[in-house]
Amino acid sequence: MLLGFPLLSLVIWLPIFIGILVFATGGDRNARLAKWLALAGSVLSLLVAIPLYAQFDSIMSGMQFIEYHAWIERFNVHYHLGVDGISMPLILLNCFITPLVVIAGWQVINNRVSQYMGAFLVMSGIVNGVFSSLDAILFYVFWEASLIPMFLIIGVWGGPNRVYAAIKFFLYTLMGSLLMLVAFIYLYNVSGGSFSILDYHKLPLPLAPQILIFIAFLLAFAVKVPMWPVHTWLPDAHVEAPTGGSIVLAAILLKLGGYGFLRFSLPIVPDASQYLSGMMIGLSLIAVVYIGLVALVQADMKKLIAYSSVSHMGFVTLGFFLFNAYGIEGAMVQMISHGFISGAMFLCVGVMYDRLHSRQISDYGGVANKMPIFSVFFMLFAMANAGLPGTSGFVGEFMVIMAAIKVNFWYAFFAATTLIFGAAYTLWMYKRVVFGAVASSKVEGLVDVTGREILILTILAAAVLWMGVYPLPLTEVMHATVDDLLAHLSRSKL
C-alpha cells in the first residue's frame, strides 16, 4: 500500500511542474519538444492518478489519501488534501482529459506552442488541487488560479471576438468567487479561526447567515456551472476558445461549480439548501427547458453545444437539490459523462473547424460523404448528447429524472423534456452538418480524420460507451460518500 505517500500532491504538482518545464522550452523553435514533453507529462499525470481509484476504499465515506501540513499559521491555514467518492472521480476525469487536449492541439496550434501546452498542464494540476483541497483558502487559491490559464488560452489562441469573451469569462467568474471568499472569511471568524472545510461541515449556524452564505456560494458556483441566468459567459467563451480550451472548459471547469455545491453549499449550509431548494430546482429547470430551446436556434455549432452544456448542467444542479441518492449520484454521473460528451462534441466541431475554418452550420452539409469515419464518431457523440441509453449521457439524466419524480412529478416532467429538446437540437444540427448532399466546394475538399484524431475520438467513444453500458464502477465509489452527505443534510444545523 502507498500509505503515507503524498499521492495527491503528486497529482497536483507533477503536471504543474512539467507545465513549467514546457514553458521553459521557450519559443516556437522547440515546438516539437514542447509537445512531446506535454504529452509525456499529461500521460504521466494520468498514470499517477490511477492509484487514486485502484486503492480507493469505497466502503469508507470520509476523506482518503489525506495530507495535512501547516501552511499559513497566521490564519491557521493548512495544506490539507484528501479525496472522497465525490472528488476522486472528478480528478480522474481531469487527468483523463488533459492528454486528449494535448493531442488535440498537436497540429492545430502552431503559434506559441509551449505556452499553449504548458498552460493546459498547469491548469490540469490546479484543477486537481481544487478537487482535493480540504482547506478553504487552499481551495480558493486553486479555484482562482485556474482562471488565469484559461483566460490566456481563450485570449491568446481564441477567435476574433476573443478579448470580449476572455474578459467576460474572467470577470463573471471572479464576481462569483469573491463573494465566496467573503463567506469563507465569515466562516473562519465564526468557527473561531479555522479554514478547514471539514470543520465547517460541523459548524452550527442560524438560518439567516446560512442563507447569506448560501447565496454567496451560489454566485460562485452558479457562475461556474453555469446556471441560468448567469450562463451568458459560457457561449461566448466557448465560441472564441480554441478547441482544447473549449474541451477543458466544458469537460472540467464547469465541474468545479458542481463540485462546489457538493463540497460547500449542501454540507455547510444544509438548512439554507433545503430552504432554497425550490428556487434552485426552478433555476435548474429553466436551464433545462429555456436553454434547450435556445440551443435549438443557434447557427454556430460551438454556441449550440455550449448551450447544450448549460442545459445538461441544469441536470446536475437539479440532481443536487432533490436531496436523494438518485439525484446526487445521478448529478455526479452526469458531470463525469458531460465531461466526456461535451469534450467529444467540441472536439468534433474542432475537427471540422480545422479543415473548413467555420463553425457555422450553414457552411456545412453532406460531411458524411467526405468524412465517413468522422461522421460515425460524431453520430455516437451526438446521440450521447441526446441522452441515448447505452451511452453515458443517458445514465445521469435517467437517475436525475428518477430522483425528480420522487420529489414532484412536474419537476420530472420538465426535466424529461430534455429527451425531446436534447434530441432536437443535437440531431437537427447533425442533420444539417453531416447529412445531405455535399453542400459546397469547400465541403468537397474535406478529408477524413487522421490517425491522431481517430485516437482521441476512439478513447472518448470508449469512455462514453463504457459508462453507458456499465456505470457500476463509477457509482460504486460514490455511495458511501453520498449516503454520508445525505445523512448530514438531513440533520439541521440550526
Site for another protein in 80-119 (CB under 8 A): 112, 115
CA distances from 175 to 20, 178, 491 (A): 28, 6, 31
**Of 65, 116, 172, 346, which one interacts with another protein (CB under 8 A)?**
172
Angle at which helices 451-469 and 372-385 pack, to 10 degrees?
Answer: 30
Kindly state whether residue 404 participates in binding another protein, applying the rule CB under 8 A.
Answer: yes
Residue closer to another protein (CB basis): 62 or 473: 473
- Which of 65, 131, 170, 353 is the binder for another protein (CB under 8 A)? 170
The nearest distance, CB 474 to another protein, in angstroms, is 8
Interface with another protein (CB under 8 A), residue from 43, 44, 141, 198: 141
Candidates 31-39, 45-53, 270-278, 433-441: pick the segment binding another protein (CB under 8 A).
Answer: 433-441
Residue 350 is a binding residue for another protein (CB under 8 A): no
Residue 204 vs 389, nearer CB to another protein: 389
Q: Which long-range contacts (CB under 8 A, 24 or more apart) does 60-68 make?
A: 60/480, 61/85, 61/480, 61/481, 61/483, 61/484, 62/484, 63/134, 63/198, 64/88, 65/7, 65/8, 65/132, 66/134, 67/6, 67/8, 67/9
Q: Is 6 in the site for another protein (CB under 8 A)?
A: no
Q: Does 137 bind another protein (CB under 8 A)?
A: yes
What minimum distance in Å lies between the beta carbon of 232 and another protein? 5
Count how many Cα atoms sit within 13 Å of the Cα of residue 390 in the half-sphere of its side chain: 5
Query: What is the closest distance, in whole angstroms, from the C-beta atom of residue 1 to another protein in the complex?
Result: 26
What residues numbered 354-393 form the site for another protein, per CB under 8 A? 366, 368-369, 379, 383, 388-390
Q: Segment 248-267, which members bind another protein (CB under 8 A)?
A: none
364 touches 408 (CB < 8 A): no
- The full DSSP string for 427-438 is HHHHHHHHSSS-
Q: For the stretch 349-361, what's the b/e string if a residue is b when 16 or more beta carbons lie within 10 angstroms of its beta carbon?
A: bbbbbebbeebeb
Regarding 437 and contact with another protein (CB under 8 A), the answer is yes
Least CB distance to another protein at residue 140 (A): 7
Which of the 8 DSSP states describes residue 227?
Answer: P
What are the φ and ψ backbone dihedral angles of 270, each rounded to 5 degrees? -65, -35
Between CA 229 and CA 227 the distance in angstroms is: 6
- Measured from the CB atom, is 2 or 161 closer to another protein? 161
Whole-number Å distance between alpha carbons of 250 and 259: 14
Element of type H or E holding 79: strand 77-83
Grid cell in block for residue 67: 495530507
Residue 144 sits in the site that holds another protein (CB under 8 A): yes
Residue 196's beta-bridge partner residues? 135
The set of cell numbers assigned to 377 is 464518431
Beta carbon of residue 236, minimum distance to another protein (angstroms, whole number):
9
Q: How far is the CB of 77 from another protein (least distance, A)?
A: 9
Binding string to another protein for residues 177 to 206, with x set by CB under 8 A, is what? -xx-xx--xx-xx-----------------
Examine residue 421 and tell whether it contacts another protein (CB under 8 A). yes
Interaction between residue 245 and another protein (CB under 8 A): no
* By CB under 8 A, residue 462 contacts another protein: no
Q: Is 439 in the site for another protein (CB under 8 A)?
A: no
Number of residues that bind another protein (CB under 8 A): 95
Regarding 20 and contact with another protein (CB under 8 A), the answer is no
Cα dist from 157 to 144, 166, 232, whole Å: 21, 11, 21
Contact between residue 257 and residue 312 where contact means Cβ atoms under 8 Å apart: no
Backbone angles phi, psi at 77, to 5 degrees: -90, 135
Q: Report 266-305 residues binding another protein (CB under 8 A).
A: 290, 293-298
By C-beta, is 53 or 428 nearer to another protein?
Answer: 428
Binding string to another protein for residues 310 to 339, with x set by CB under 8 A, is what? Answer: --------------xxx--xx---------
Is residue 311 within 8 A of residue 292, CB to CB? The reply is yes
